[in-house]
A = this chain, B = another copy of it.
Amino acid sequence: MKSEPSHFGDRLIAAIRAKKNPVLVGLDPRAENIPRGLIAGEGMEATAGGFALFCRGVIDAVAPLVPAVKPQAAFFEQLGPAGMRALKETIDYAASKGLLIILDGKRNDIGSTAQGYAEAYLGCGAASAWGCDALTVSPYLGDDSLTPFVETAQKQAAGIFVLVKTSNSGGKRFQDLVADGKPLYRHVAEYVESLAAATAGPGGYGCVGAVVGATYPEQLAELRQAMPHTMFLIPGFGAQGGTAKDCAAAFDNQGLGAIVNNSRGIIFAHARPEYRDKFGAGHWQAAVEAATREMIGQLKSETSAGRL
């Protein structure tokens, strides 16, 4: 911990530079998809144990390769308190392997409740109950709902990623409504950029980032221009259809400014046709590693991340 940067934007940049790629591995365990044999028995306790074991295996495969992982809270919450223990074990194991942890919880609320969420999640290691480096946050509740997250993030050298333009097709119903000459997501983007600029570290990026889907490459380009201090978390790569080329405009000319998430395409690579035959079911971790290396290669050849 000695000379680690004390600012989330800089910590993320350091992690990206150390691994020379911006790949974020999404930890989305699902009972029906994880390799056979990892879940021993029936019920939520057994399934949660299998989730923890599976995530540990994924982390072992990807920790030498990527800067960060993104556990998806929903899949752990689905298993009740046992699932929450598995989430905590997964976070702690990822941290022990030197990975940054961005929890995908899409939390938010008002006043002291928002403060509660911020204190619950923001702060690695023992600095918060869950020990995460960053959390995804929903913007509908407005500016004062984001304040406790921003203040806590600054205090804890942690970060938040606010939903701006999400990767699903139904996101446009509200996000694309035009008010005062621009879509809602641009209003959210401007407010997020103001927070990012106000919290920018020496590396130029703030502790407030934005979620922008790979499935909207034009908006990625437009938002990169409009949000120079904002780190992007890009979902939608792979299974949802986004490609490395689609993400290219999200990066700055140093290959920084974005992390690209892939969940199913990496963690369930053993079931993808192109890997299924190459790696038997007993070698699922080798498939995870191969899929991670493939994505790293794609981003390096199609985006400025090749300069890292």
Contacts and interface: CB of A to CB of B under 8 A. Distances in A.
Interface of A is mostly: helix
A80 B88 contact: yes
A74 interface: yes
A113 B143 contact: no
Contacts of A72: 109, 113, 116
B77 A88 contact: no
A125 to B, nearest CB: 13
Interface in A98-127: 104, 106-114, 116-117, 119-121
A78 B119 contact: yes
Contacts of A191: 173
Interface stretch (A179-187, A244-252, A289-297): A179-187
A26 B200 CA distance: 38
A274 interface: no
A30 B175 CA distance: 35
B108 A138 contact: yes
Given A173-B142, A184-B177, A79 B109 contact: no
A119 B130 CA distance: 23
A195 interface: no
A76 to B, nearest CB: 9
Interface stretch (A5-13, A160-168, A277-285): A160-168
A145 B117 contact: no
A37 to B, nearest CB: 23
A139 to B, nearest CB: 6
Interface of A: 28, 30, 44, 72, 74-75, 77-81, 83-85, 87-88, 104, 106-114, 116-117, 119-121, 129-130, 138-145, 147, 163, 166-175, 177-180, 184, 187-188, 191
